[in-house]
Structure 1
Amino acid sequence: MLGLGHDRILMYHGTPAADAAALERQLRLVRLAFPVVPLEDIASGRNKNGRARVALTFDDGLRNNVGVAYPILRKLGLTATFFVCPGLIDRACWLWNHEARERLKTLSAPALAELAASVGGPAEVETFIDWMKTLKIAARRRVEETIRAATRGFKPSREQHEQFDLAGWDELARLDPHVVAIGSHTMSHPILTSLSAEETETETRDSRQTLEERLDRAVTIFCYPNGDLNESALASARRYYRSAVTVERGTVNGNADPHLLPRYAANPQRTRRLVRRMVLG
């Protein structure tokens, strides 16, 4: 039955306008089943009254989270945490994996195979992106440049801008802190296991510092990009944040490590799947 046992954390990513109605329906259902509380309450265990609770998180700091999800949260009286990569905002960049994927999709099969062979990667878009995630940061950036060179005519469509553009500083600053908490998602969304210990330290430390300076609010929660972490990443998260979330599936029990909090992936178009996961684990 709903409401069993332990707290849950939901993980959303992009929320394009086409998903707005489905997202609202899904959040209404979640609200009926569980009290929706700030992530900090679950991370710290505070205000626990014996009933399972839910916290909402949105990764990557996308503009559609501000334009689509935020008004729904306000309308329903819910709170959430938006995880942001401040190093990408001033550069008006997409997340590297979003850009690489969309560029690769423009290539013909022979052109993709040729590019893949030139860098030693697989000749299928999604497996290529997954392969890039395994590379050390310098090698991954070289592959990114190879992709850009092969797709010089790439110009994002209006739909792609809606899907992948990041929120700007002014948009983030206008978010009501009673509705949305800001969390750190590193400076530039690297795979932390691809970095040196010093690079990991910089990405985790500087992200919090930049967000707090630009938004004038406390940033105490961290999100590991892609869920990948090692000892250096965990140590840095412990050093600079009160808690951190992963992409591992599960509930949050009383013995949970506050820097290894599990989450359930949520998709507005897959409510039945989400309910099964949240109820059955």
Structure 2
Amino acid sequence: MKAIITFHSIDTTNSVLSFHPSDFLHLIQSLVESGMPIVTLDNLLDENCSKGVAITFDDGMASVFTEALPVLKDFSVPAHLFLTTSVVGGDNYWQTQPKNAPKFQMMDWDQIAACQSAGVSIEAHTHTHPKLSVLTAEQVQDECLLCDEIIEEKLGRKPKYFAYPYGAYDEKTQKFASSQYKATVTTFMGSLSKNDDHALLPRLDSYYLQSNWIHSKLNKLTGKAYIKSRSIIRSIRGHQ
């Protein structure tokens, strides 16, 4: 199996965006002990890669630095952080954020730089986290390019990968993302296949991985069946 797992915040609040720190430790440890390689997106998307998991975080919550990074360092595994640049050092209440969304402190640039130094690749997630499908082509371009420019200026590296905010995209957004990035990830629930469009890669939402029993079974028939069933149910409910 090949898959990209997505997280937001690693904390104990039990919010819809949260993954408990002890569960995160158990997941990483279980993947390592079961022989499932935890690799970069570069390696995972290589045609010669037969199995592996890439760890991704969206937005840039401070808990990624305080809770997730020590675990990643202890197990010497890489990860990717899709960063929303306008809220660095602030909180996640950007303009399009639902009013009932949980509020989180975001990392500052020193913490983000420390993540990068420890093997976390900093990728693009727009500047203000808008729903790109309702913007004009020019606005989409401005959002992405400004995000890229800020990351390159602050960290000395231009993002190679992109995550659609809210998983929202349309033809113009997909076209621009394909021209600007090596690959883009979505909120579609699923593992990877050889036929995937690299501009619309699915991910495994960590929300469905909170039960510890699944952690060591992701590459087994029971794990694959579980992921497939979650994907179908999510689709029926109208979620990407």
In 2, distance between residues paired with 1:38 and 1:209? 22
Aligned partners of 1:245 and 1:259 also within 8 Å: yes
* Structure 1 residue 194 displacement after superposition: 2.0
Partner residue, 1:54: 53
> Does 2:65 match 1:66?
yes
> Does 2:211 match 1:270?
yes
Partner residue, 1:165: 105
> Does 2:196 match 1:256?
yes
Question: Number of matched residues?
Answer: 213
- Name the TM-score, length of structure 2 as normaliser: 0.80
> Does 2:9 match 1:14?
yes
State the one-letter code of the partner of 2:21. Answer: A
Give the number of the structure whose residues are more often strand, by fraction: 2
Partner residue, 2:37: 35
Percent identical pairs in the alignment equals 26
**Gap regions ≥5 residues in structure 1:** 1-5, 103-159
Where 2:157 maps in the other structure, the secondary structure is coil
**Gap regions ≥5 residues in structure 2:** 14-19, 229-240
Where does 1:85-234 land on structure 2 (aligned, <5 Å)? Answer: 85-89=84-88, 92-96=90-94, 100-101=99-100, 164-177=104-117, 179-234=119-174
* Structure 1 residue 93 displacement after superposition: 3.9
Partner residue, 1:76: 75
Aligned partners of 1:95 and 1:188 also within 8 Å: no
Aligned partners of 1:17 and 1:68 also within 8 Å: no
* Structure 1 residue 173 displacement after superposition: 1.2
- Return the structure number with greater relative CO, CA threshold 8 A, min gap 6: 1
Aligned partners of 1:89 and 1:168 also within 8 Å: yes
Where 2:31 maps in the other structure, the secondary structure is helix
In 2, distance between residues paired with 1:233 and 1:8? 23
Larger radius of gyration: 1
CA-based RMSD of the aligned residues comes to 2.3
